[in-house]
Amino acid sequence: MSPKDGPLVWLNEKVKSPPFSREARLEAGFLLRSLQRGNKLSLPQSRPMRTVGSRCHELRINDAGATWCINYRTDEDAIVIVEIFNQKTARTPEAVKASAKRRLKEYDNA
């Protein structure tokens, strides 16, 4: 890690094996480090999540038998990890979106 890398702020869970496979954990780490270095990611790795909030996105990591999603927001001073979940349908569940909005509101008001 470089002193120039922005910090990650974890509001909920962390990426760990299990349940992530070693390969999926390494891919998640690589993508998060890229974000820390100021790189912008796009499809297929990341897509905007405007329904959660501005600057919010969702990383998608394909694993053996699962697709992991990491919802995050890019702030000027950090990458805020909001939610990590196993994607089972084509759409992000409303409960996940509501939880992400609540966590971000609590984080912003702290």
Tens of pLDDT, residue by residue over 55-81, are: 999 999 999 888 999 999 999 889 999
Give tens-digit pLDDT for 7-26: 888 887 777 656 888 899 89
The verdict on residue 65 lying in a domain is yes
The verdict on residue 28 lying in a domain is yes
pTM: 0.87
SS (H, E, C) 58-104: EEEEEECCEEEEEEEEECCCCEEEEEEEEECCCCCCHHHHHHHHHHH
Give the model's pLDDT for residue 104. Answer: 95
Range of the domain at 50: 8-109
CA angle 29, 31, 34 (to 5 degrees): 110
Looking at the structure of the chain, the number of domains it has is 1
The verdict on residue 3 lying in a domain is no
**Which domain CATH number covers 15?**
3.30.2310
* Mean pLDDT, the chain, whole residue set: 88
The verdict on residue 58 lying in a domain is yes
The verdict on residue 1 lying in a domain is no
The verdict on residue 2 lying in a domain is no
